[in-house]
Amino acid sequence: MSKDTMIKKAVIPAAGFGTRFLPVTKSQPKEMLPIVDTPVIQCVVEEAVAAGIRDILMIIGKGKRSIEEHFDRNFELESELEEKNREHELQTIRHISSMANIHFVWQKELKGLGDAIRCARDHVGKEPFAVLLGDTIIDAKPGVTKQLIEVFNRYQESVVGLEEVPRAKVSRYGIMSGKPLDKGGIYLVDDWIEKPKVEEAPSNLAIAGRYILVPEIFDLLDSQTAGKNNEIQLTDAMRRLVKMRAMYGLRFDGVRYDIGNKLDFVKTNLIYALKREDMAKDLRAFLKTLVKSD
């Protein structure tokens, strides 16, 4: 890798079944669930675009056709909006299909996140690339992918976004073991521990669904045996990568929302609706009446 390798491609895994969000995910991709009026996966694409990435590969599977349709142009709808002079809506929907070059590849069998990323090998080639989980948004300024790319530009090695979680909850996450390098939240990683017991956790910094990975991860994923839930786990391949090359973690300033979890989904919608000028006032008043009558 040359000293000034740039991150030009992002991979968004979005093939999963979403069993934690049934029944809606029986026929709807969870990545298309709205945050007020915008599908989660559009917010994820916007984060990649804000980091300067224009080439985006989505990993999809059965039942995910609405994701393809969302990012395609809809000429009939455009001409309808044009005729009615609804300029704002027209710009809004044109922006979706024009902001990036979006490609799709199918994960044939849902064998886990590591397997999903392996499907990106031919498209990514031999460059380092960004990974953004398609069901996770992170409220951060600047966006976390941009923050990770800045760290990558410094070290030219893999960088993983880390979220500080309450110590009592570490056993729900993949946790980093490593040493802080500075006060800016950068860590040199020495291991990744999947769902540790509270007393055995090396930190309270959890893998947060955003990564910059070097292409060597593909060979490791190819030779990775199935782990937890009989799936190819990305974390297992990352444990092997960290033994071969330096890996960094970045504790970002921001809040992560996993939309595949029902409570997070409802909370995220309230938080984002309260940020919107067109509904904040009415919603706040409504929420007060709800809490009072509780």
CB of residue 132 vs ligand UTP: minimum separation in angstroms? 9
CB 99 within 8 A of CB 46: yes
- The residue (of 2 and 229) whose beta carbon lies closer to ligand UTP is 229
Q: Among 19, 13, 24, which Cα is nearest to 135's?
A: 13
39 binds ligand UTP (CB under 6 A): no
> Residue 224 has what DSSP assignment?
P
**Segment contacting ligand UTP (CB under 6 A): 12-20, 69-77, 97-105, 169-177?**
12-20
Closest residue (Cβ) to ligand UTP?
A: 16
Does position 103 interact with ligand UTP (CB under 6 A)? The reply is no
Query: How big is the chain by its Cα radius of gyration, in Å?
Result: 20
SS3 58: strand
Q: Which of 134, 161, 174, 249 binds ligand UTP (CB under 6 A)?
A: 134
CB 212 within 8 A of CB 7: yes
- Which of 11, 51, 67, 113 is close enough to bind ligand UTP by CB under 6 A? 113
CA distances from 124 to 43, 58, 103, 178, 217 (A): 22, 12, 11, 28, 11
Taking CB under 6 A as the binding criterion, the range among 93-101, 104-112, 164-172, 249-257 that sits at the site for ligand UTP is 104-112
The site that binds ligand UTP (CB under 6 A) totals a number of residues, namely 22
Site for ligand UTP in 233-262 (CB under 6 A): 260
116 binds ligand UTP (CB under 6 A): yes
What CA–CA distance (Å, rounded) separates 209 from 206?
9
By C-beta, is 81 or 129 nearer to ligand UTP?
Answer: 129
Q: State the binding string over 40-79 for ligand UTP (x if CB under 6 A, else -).
A: -------------------x--------------------
Min dist CB 21 to ligand UTP, Å, is 6
Tokens linked to 37 = 């009026």
Helix, strand, coil share of the chain (percent; to 5): 45, 25, 35
User: Which stretches of the chain are DSSP H helices?
Assistant: 40-50, 65-71, 75-83, 87-98, 113-118, 121-124, 144-155, 217-222, 234-244, 262-274, 280-292
Q: Under the criterion CB under 6 A, does residue 14 sit at the interface with ligand UTP?
A: yes
Q: Which stretch binds ligand UTP (CB under 6 A): 16-24, 80-88, 185-193, 275-283?
A: 16-24
d(CA 17, CA 184): 37
Q: Which residues bind ligand UTP (CB under 6 A)?
A: 13-21, 31, 59, 107, 110-113, 115-116, 133-135, 260
